[in-house]
Structure 1
Amino acid sequence: MYEILVTSHSYLRWLVLMLGLATTISAIMGKTSKAQFSDGDRKLGLFFMISCHTQLLLGLVLYFVSPFGAKAFEMGMKEVMGNAFYRKIAVEHVFTMIIAIVLITVGHSKNKRETSDAKRFNNALIFFGLGLLLILAGIPWNKAV
């Protein structure tokens, strides 16, 4: 089960990153060209948010079944914080991703209520762009966990 989860979590990150990049580029292009916020723009943000939430669910399950997660629970917080690898996996990765997903969800929710196309592109750029940056910063690139 662990291998399936870690492989799924690792591959899904590429979908999340592609959708995040596409959403951010779409927001930049829409903002600079003063285009209409289309149904395609809305769906792109929605799919980005859904992929992030799916990734979060996989990651949370993985957190509790992973040998790294089990080891981190055994170690205790003081020891985890003193070990760069376990701090990254058990603390920094989790909290960075949760903050990113909250930003992405807030951006999507704000765009559902917004009526101005310019403000929708602005919301997408700010919230989805910041979320994408946090995701990029929080990925443990040297180790797929």
Structure 2
Amino acid sequence: MYETIQFIHSYWAYLVLLILLIAAFNAIIGYAADREYGAMNFRIALFTLIVSHIQLLIGIALYFTSPYFKAWSTEGVGGVMGDSVLRLYNVEHPLMMIIAVTLITIGYSKHKKKLTSRPKFKILAIFYGFALVVVLTRIPWNAWF
């Protein structure tokens, strides 16, 4: 079961990263170029929200089925925090990804309340941009290549 969830989580991550890149740059360009916010921009923002939440759910399932999770009981908190690999997979990656999904959710929710295009793009650019930075800092790159 763990291998299947890990496979899905790993490949869904490519989709999440791609759509988050597209959404962040779309918002930045829309804000900088003072474009009109339209249906396609809304769909990009919504799709980013959906795929990131699906990834979070897959990640939660993976976390609790992972052999790394068992280290909490075998190694204890000190052992997990003392080992950089265990700390990455048990603390840093999950926490930062939850923060990234939270930023995406807040950005999506706040942008819907704005009435004109420029503030919509600005909110999305800020929150989706920060979420992208957070994701890029805590991806276990050695596992990706």
Measured at CA, do residues 26 and 19 of structure 1 come closer, stay the same or move farther in structure 2, by a change above 3 Å? same
| Residue 54 (str. 1) matches residue 54 (str. 2) | yes
Alpha-carbon distance in 1 for matches of 2:58, 2:72: 18
Q: Which moved more, 1:69-78 or 1:6-15?
A: 69-78
| Cα drift, residue 73 of structure 1 | 3.6
Structure 1 stretches lacking a partner, 5+ long: none
Alpha-carbon distance in structure 1 between the residues aligned to 2:73 and 2:90: 9
Number of the residue aligned with 1:139? 139
Task: Give TM-score, length-normalised by structure 2.
Answer: 0.95
Taking the TM superposition and a 5 Å limit, the aligned residue runs for 1:1-145 are 1-143=1-143
How many angstroms apart in 2 are the aligned matches of 1:94 and 1:29? 30
Instruction: Give me the TM-score of the superposition, normalised by structure 1.
Output: 0.95
Identity of aligned residues (%): 38
Query: 2:9 touches 2:59 (CA, 8 Å); kept in 1?
Result: yes
Partner Cα separation in structure 2 for residue 73 and residue 34 of structure 1: 53
Q: Displacement, 1:139?
A: 0.8
Q: Which runs of 5+ in 2 are unaligned?
A: none
Contact 2:107 2:128 in 1 (8 A): yes
Deviates more, 1:7-16 or 1:134-143: 134-143
Q: In the alignment, is the contact (CA less than 8 A) between 2:24 and 2:128 conserved in 1?
A: yes
**Per-residue deviation, residues 47-69 of structure 1 (Å, max 9, x unmatched):** 11111111111111111111122
Quote the Cα distance in structure 2 between the aligned partners of 1:98 and 1:75. Answer: 24
